[in-house]
Each structure stands twice: as C-alpha cells, then as structure tokens.
Structure 1
Amino acid sequence: MKLSKLHGLTAALAVSSLMLTAACGNTGAQPANAGAATGKDQPAAAPAAPADKKQPVKVIWWHSMGGELGKAVDKLVADFNASHSDVQVEAVFQGTYDESLNKMKASMDSKSGPSMIQVYEIGSRFMIDSKAITPVQKFIDQDKYDVSQLEENILGYYTFDGKLYSMPFNTSNPILYYNKDMFKAAGLDPEKPPQTYEDMKKAAAALSKDKPGAGASLAIYGWFMEQFFANQGAEYLDNGNGRTSPATKSLLNTDAGVKTLTWWKDLVDSKAAMNLGRKTDDTKKAFLAGQIAMTLDSTASLRGIVDGANGKFQVGNGFLPKPEGAKDGGVVVGGASNWILSNKPEAEQKGAWEFMKFLAKPETQAYWHINTGYFPITKAAYDQQSVKDNMAKYPQFKTAVDQLHATKLNKATQGAVMGVFPEARQIVEGAVEEALNGKKQPQQALDDAAKAVTDKINSYNKTVAK
C-alpha cells in the first residue's frame, strides 16, 4: 500500500457531510453466546497439558448503520458468529459514511483500522485510487463464487474494468411517493402516478389549485440530479461517466441538466410545488403531515413512510419521472458496499470475505430487506416466503423492485464515478438552490457548477497521476 498516495488523496478530497437516511446512534449489544466456539467433550481422567486450540480469526467491520438499521446489523453479525467457529466478526458503528471514511484514512499508518468497511457508493473511486483495498474479485476467483446470483444492476455500479472491487450490501434508489387521498380530492386518478415531468407539472398544478405549493416538494439533494440524468440515459461525466477512463469534465450543464432544473424551477415559480430546502427529512415530514401531495425519497424510506401515513392517508408510489421522449435509462443504485482492507493479514481478509458471502445469502438478504427496506442484492431472496409475505403486506415495494429491474444497464445507469463526488454533490445542491431562489437562471447556475466540479476533478486527478 502506498501511504503517501493515500495522504495525497486525503488532502485532495475534503469530504463533505451528507444527509443520510440512517440515524447515527446504535446501542445494539451482541448476545452473550455470539461467537462461542464448539469443542469436543474432554475425558474425565486428569488431563495432560491441553493442546493448543486454534483461535478464531477476528474481523473488525466498520459500518454506518445507526438506530433501527444498527439493530438489524447486530442481528446479522450475531447469526454469523453463532454459525462460524473459525471467524468472529465485531461490528463497530463509526457514524456517518463521511465520518467513517475519514476515520479509516486516519488509521492507515497505525494499522488500527478495520478489516472491512462499509463505504457509500460515491466513495468508490476514492477507495480504488487509495490503493488501500484488496478487490473482492480476488476471492471471487479463488472460490469460483457465482456472481450471477446477484442483481446485475447492482453489480454494475461496483464493477470497474470487468472487476468487482467491493461487495454490495445496502442498496436503494429514488421513487415518487404520492398521497392517494389528495389525488382523489383533486380529481386525479389515484392509481395513475405521473410518469413524466409534464405529467407531474399538470398533477401538481391541480393539487395546488386551492392551496398554493401543495402539489409537491423535492428536496435539494444532489443524488436526485444524478438520478434525473440517468433516467434520461444521459451521462453525468465525460469518459463514459468516468468508467472508460478517469473523468475530466462535468456534464452537469448539458441538455439533461438544464431541462431538469428548468422544470424544477417552473414547478416552484408557478406555485405548483414548494421549496423546503436540502433536507429530505423536511419533505418527508411535510408529506406525512398532508402538506404536500408528492415527493421523492429513497426506497429505503418506503416502509417508514407507509407506516407513518397509516390511519391518515393511503400512500402510492411510482417510478422516477423523466421528460417526455427521453432516451432509455433508469435509476442508479444508491447505498453502500463493503470493502476489504489490504493492510490486514491474509487470514483476516479471507474471514471478511466469508462474512460478505454470508451477508449475500438469500435468507440473510431477506431479513435485511424486510427489516430495513433496502433491496435484496441476491435474486433468490425474492423466493423466500418472508419476502413474499412482506410484499403482500407492503405492495408499494413492488414498484421499487420493478423500477430496479426495468433499468437498462448502460454507462448512464451504471453510475458516474469520481474521486470528489461528495464535494460535487454539495456544488450541485448550491446550483439548484441558486436557480430555485431566483439568483441565477438554470443554464448559468449549471454552467458555474459544472466548471467548479471540473476544477475539483482535475485537481484530484493530479494527485493520482502515475
């Protein structure tokens, strides 16, 4: 591992704090018997000096799943430890994705860091460039592990140059949520959510007729802009979204971006929608309070939103809208994957891989999906009876799954990659804010943002040039 290169990357990447769906606290405890190794009965006679027992390999897993998500993580770890005497996992909550990644960087000299770490999808380029990881492809090849059992559209994001660098874990994408009761009251068909920008504008106008702005609210979240590009089959960065070769230029100010921001601004200016700022929690609260009829949010929020509206109104959902006549596209997976650190002994890395395989098992993914709302990464998880029962109870999940499966995998939907993605999201959010607040026209706001992102990319690229 080249520590000097990691330090250069760290200086180049001032990671910004991003809003996360998961809460940041976790107090789940491991069961007392988690990790207890089984042994053979000893003879009753006075024993001779005991033979040395091989100690299990200890794997430290840093993760960012707090609150209820953290409790689900603790259950998975306990189940693994109870079924494996040779490998024992210790899960350590490290705060947000940004906080965890910064702690990993700080630990590299001392080797006090984790065996494996959960990193959000937009940290992928940095993790590869850091030279601090062992691609999971190494263990896939050694085990002849069948990756065809995993979802292709999820694998697509984490595959670079035909190699899988990390193992997908928690995966989501954005969907449209709408209030069926408000649709009925406005004379709209509650079973037909808007599918295009144009449809959404008409529906929002009808919903706002007696209450300006009640039609919709979209949080100013950079992830949504990335998704709007992919849904039009448009690439966000040059060089095949940074996948055929490292990106050198932002394409934020191209037609897909201008069309999207112009539509978004028109929704707000016409009072068909209201601007509630950057926090998705604020739009979620407004939606659950019946103040707005439509919003965008992660599929990982689906169960919480449906439960939160229970007894108040019926929640509908639909695919992410796109402009009429847009090219084939779809959504980019969000969430995070697990990475193996290369500065750990081979046995520890193999132990981490064993845990990753356990996390990908159909029954494990079924539990994770039901208790968190994240997609199963394993196709056979949908055959589990528990998942079938959950889908019957929460039919809204079908929309989310159908949207994932309807996505056509190409460079646009595979997702953009750049080493400065956290900073880029903040720049994009600033541009959207400027346009919605009337400080700049959409084209100018995106021109300025594209230049700022491009400058960041080029500065980063200099630190990783060979």
Structure 2
Amino acid sequence: MQSMTKQKNRFALPLTFVALCLAIAGCSGGSSPSGGDEGSGSKELAPPAKQQDKTVVKFWSHQSNLKDKMTELINAYNATNEDHIEIQLNVVADKYNDVLSLAFTSGEGPDIFTITGPSGTRKWADNKWAQPLDEYVTDEFRSRFRDGVWVEGNNLINGQVYTLPDTASTYRLMYNKQLFEQAGLDPEAPPATFAELRDDARAIAEATDAAGYGLPLGDGYNLDVSIFNGIGHAAIGLARGFDHGKGEFDFAPYKPVLELFAGMEQDGSLLEGALLINGDQGRAKFAEGAIGMIGAASWDPGIYAAMDIGFEIGVADFPTIDGKAKGKPIIQTGSGYMMSASSKDKDKVWKAMEFIHSTAFAGELRKVDGSISLLSEVADNPSYQAEIPYLEPFQIKPTDAVWPPFPPGLRLQGDNMQSVAIGVITGARAVDEALADLTARYNAAFELGAAEGDFDRAKFTIAGFDPLQLQ
C-alpha cells in the first residue's frame, strides 16, 4: 500500500504540470483545422528560419554570341544549385581585354573570366591576377579533356594549371564547287600542292568573273587563317615562324608560301582590291559566289550558315608544297576559363567553374555556336553537335595536333609578319630581303624578352622536336 502511495506521488507533479499547460492553451485559443488562429488571445510565433546567404560569383565573358544561352543556363543553375551560389554573368563584347585589365587594376575584377586565346594565360598569370588551380584540378578532372591539351604556355605556367581549356579552332580550305565546274575543274579534287592551287585559281579567274582565291588584306585576319595558321604548320613545319627544335625564329622557309600568293597576284587570280577588304567582307564575297577558294577557321561554317548561299561548298586540308606534310595542321586552343587570385571564397568559385565545365553548360553552348569542344564527353557525344552545314570537316582529325606555344608578349620593332607578307605579295618588297629582316627582328625581340625575364627561353626549345609526331 505504501509503495502504491509513493507511485501516485511520482506522477503528481507531471500531471499537475500537464493540466496547467492545457489550461494556458485553452486561454490562449486553439488552432483551426486550416491553421488560422481563433479567439482573442495572443501567442508568440517562432521567427522564421534564416535562409543561408548566397555566395555571389562574378563571371565575365567575351562571347557575345552565346550571351542568351549562357544567361538561360546560369539562371537555371542559380535557381537549383544546393551550394548557395549565384553566378552573375557580364558579357563584354567590345575591347574585352582592355576592360578586364582596368577592372583588375581597380580591384573590381571578376571571380571567373574567359581568355580570348592561349597568350592570355601568361598575361594574367604574370600580372598575379589569376589563381593557380592545381589543388582543384585532379587527375580525374584532367582525364575529361582531349589528349594533348595541357601544354606549357597555353594553359600551364611553370607546370601549374592556370586555365581550364574550353574550345579549339582548326583551319581548312573552303571552295565553291560550282565555280570549279565552270572552270573545268573536278569539284571533288581540291588542290593538294602549291602548283595545283595556283593553277586552279588561275583557271577560275579566267573562266568566270570570280577571283580564284580570296585573301582579304584589310585586317590581317586572313593572312593568319591562310598562311601563318593554315598553310604554315603543315606545309612548312613551323609555328608562325618559330622553330621549336632550334629555339629561334626562321622565316626563310616561308619563301615558297609567299611566292605562291605573289604569283597568284601576278596572275590576276587574287581578290581585287584586297587591301581594302577585311575578313567579314571577304566572307560576304565568298557567299555571293565572287571567290573560288578561301581560307577558313572552324567558326566560319556557323557564320556562313546565316547567309544565303546558292552553291555547294567543298572543304579540304590546305595544300602543301609538294603534297607531303612537314608538320601536322594546328589545333589552336582558344578560349578558356581562369579564376581570380583575389576571389574571397575560392572553393565556391571552383564549384561554379565545375558547372561551367559540365556537359549541362559546355555541351549546350556547343550546340549553339558549333565550336570544337576540348571536353571529350562533349566532343564525342553526337547530341551536342550543332546542326551547321560544312562543320563536320573542321572537326579534329588524327592528323591535327596541338602545337607548343608561340613566345608571348614579344616587343617587336618594326613591321610584324602580316605586314611583311603583304609587302611581298603585293610586290612592294623582295622576298629574300623581307624574310631575312623579319627573322632578325623577331629573334631580337625573342632575346630581349628572355633577357628581361618575360619568359624562360629554355621552355621554347624542345630537343628532338618533330612537328609530324605531335598529338
């Protein structure tokens, strides 16, 4: 009996406390089934849980043609990512590099930014504005890219990763099959040698009202596409005049290339008034049927797709001197992404960069512009290929290769290689004198850059270099 009394006492306080709580609840009013308060009493509501602030990641790009698609993809990412990241996109279409430099100089640089070419890697790294990415770029991450894309001076500086490669460019010869037929040429047999190129250009010019070959000289763009990036690597085996085996410039081997174009100028086969015509105007003339053959980069099919072209286009490799290559055609790594060294939350910035290098982002962009992706999972997936006519022949082939980098930031005195080439082609300068002078001045600039610490000369000299064995 005593034990039962003790047991009752054990529950006395709790039961009293429960009754008190029920009484208080009754005074303060209950809740309706819908959750609305009833009665005249009041109660304190718990404050809502505070949402975690988002980390803003500023992303700058020069790719104005992709602005709409990037905005769409980034908005979706901002709304769904669980890392509390908000990417703010800023596309700078005009004077991008100047605007970017000013932003970093004033302490307002972005967290992620694109570069317009491989030379940008060294520029931003040397200025201490870019962050090395080695702690983030694992072997597994590297394996997602095509072979041969990790190159010192392109995206590596002193062995450290600074740039995540994005896209690449290739160069081919485009030609008008209708004009070939009108000139009595086989439209399925484009020129394979310099002699055939000159003969075909002459035949087109004589049989039609069109120029045999289009080489606009108004802005130097087509000199790079046709000569220094297009023909030069395969036919000459040099990278824009630089011999990586010797570690020096030598423009003398370009003599047959410049003589080829000077000969077409003498034949009347080149585009008339070329000095006043720029790259865009040259494309327009080709689209009109006023040019038989023209040098082209892998982004050109996308441009031509927006034009009204009434003939079939052929695409071929550039010809070589005698039909035998001395080097592999270049895969020129183009745009890429860098991280700012001044970013406050680099881990979050890296997560944003991982998104930018995902198939969900990079793959969708490639479907828009047709550029060549350096991500294997995008490049090898047909669902990410843009439906653009004549794009397929520009895709990377086993015969194409990434070349070692060109010495950056040369402080050249006098005319550059493009201006000298124009002088030779138009007959204003003798070829031997012009190329000897060009070689001397580029080597002087190279020696100056090495002496001033702009770069390590040894990194541009490759023992046993064979331009036919590049990957």
TM-score tier after normalising by the smaller chain length: 0.7 to 0.9
Q: How does 1:378-389 map to 2 (within 5 A)?
A: 378-387=375-384
Distance, in Å, in 2 between the alignment partners of 1:434 and 1:464 is 30
Partner of 2:279: 280
Q: Following TM superposition, by how much is the alpha carbon of 1:463 offset from its aligned partner in structure 2, in angstroms?
A: 6.0
Q: What amino acid maps onto 2:340 in structure 1?
A: L
8 Å CA contact 1:328–1:408 kept in 2: the answer is no
Partner of 2:103: 107
Which 5+ residue runs of structure 2 have no aligned equivalent? Answer: 1-34, 37-42, 457-471
Which 5+ residue runs of structure 1 have no aligned equivalent? Answer: 1-42
Q: 1:398 aligns with which of 365, 372, 392?
A: 392
Identity %: 17
TM-score (norm 2): 0.75
8 Å CA contact 2:112–2:337 kept in 1: the answer is yes
In the alignment, structure 1 residue 93 sits paired with structure 2 residue 91: yes
Partner of 1:416: 406
In the alignment, structure 1 residue 148 sits paired with structure 2 residue 137: no
Q: 1:240 aligns with which of 244, 252, 260?
A: 244
Q: Which has the higher contact order (CA 8 A, sep 6+)?
A: 1
Q: Following TM superposition, by how much is the alpha carbon of 1:406 offset from its aligned partner in structure 2, in angstroms?
A: 2.3
Q: How does 1:10-409 map to 2 (within 5 A)?
A: 47-66=45-64, 68-85=65-82, 86-96=84-94, 99-121=95-117, 122-141=119-138, 144-156=139-151, 157-211=154-208, 214-219=211-216, 220-221=220-221, 223-224=224-225, 225-227=227-229, 228-231=231-234, 232-236=236-240, 240=244, 249-251=248-250, 253-255=251-253, 257-274=254-271, 276-277=274-275, 279-310=278-309, 312-324=310-322, 325-345=324-344, 347=345, 349-387=346-384, 390=386, 393-394=387-388, 396-403=390-397, 405-409=398-402
Distance, in Å, in 1 between the alignment partners of 2:366 and 2:413 is 30
Q: Following TM superposition, by how much is the alpha carbon of 1:132 offset from its aligned partner in structure 2, in angstroms?
A: 2.1
3-state SS in 2 of match to 1:113 = coil
Distance, in Å, in 1 between the alignment partners of 2:312 and 2:331 is 27
3-state SS in 1 of match to 2:207 = coil
For the pair shown, the structure with the greater C-alpha radius of gyration is 2
Q: What amino acid maps onto 1:77 in structure 2?
A: I
In the alignment, structure 1 residue 427 sits paired with structure 2 residue 416: yes
Partner of 1:36: none
CA deviations on 1:11-40 (whole Å, 9 max, x unpaired) are: xxxxxxxxxxxxxxxxxxxxxxxxxxxxxx
Distance, in Å, in 2 between the alignment partners of 1:226 and 1:241 is 18
In structure 2, relative to structure 1, the CA distance for the partners of 1:448 and 1:81 (3 Å cut) is: farther
Q: Following TM superposition, by how much is the alpha carbon of 1:420 offset from its aligned partner in structure 2, in angstroms?
A: 3.6
The answer to which of 51-60 and 367-376 deviates more is 51-60
In structure 2, relative to structure 1, the CA distance for the partners of 1:365 and 1:321 (3 Å cut) is: farther
Partner of 1:441: 430
Distance, in Å, in 2 between the alignment partners of 1:119 and 1:366 is 19
Q: What amino acid maps onto 1:149 in structure 2?
A: R
Distance, in Å, in 1 between the alignment partners of 2:103 and 2:161 is 25
CA deviations on 1:40-73 (whole Å, 9 max, x unpaired) are: xxx999643444433222111221112x332233
Distance, in Å, in 2 between the alignment partners of 1:282 and 1:426 is 24
3-state SS in 2 of match to 1:92 = strand
8 Å CA contact 1:241–1:416 kept in 2: the answer is no
Distance, in Å, in 2 between the alignment partners of 1:465 and 1:210 is 52
Q: What amino acid maps onto 2:237 in structure 1?
A: G
In structure 2, relative to structure 1, the CA distance for the partners of 1:132 and 1:368 (3 Å cut) is: same
Q: What amino acid maps onto 1:416 in structure 2?
A: F
In structure 2, relative to structure 1, the CA distance for the partners of 1:406 and 1:465 (3 Å cut) is: closer
Flag the structure with higher helix content: 1
RMSD: 3.1
Q: How many residues align?
A: 401
8 Å CA contact 1:365–1:377 kept in 2: the answer is no
The answer to which of 192-201 and 54-63 deviates more is 192-201
3-state SS in 2 of match to 1:55 = coil
TM-score (norm 1): 0.76
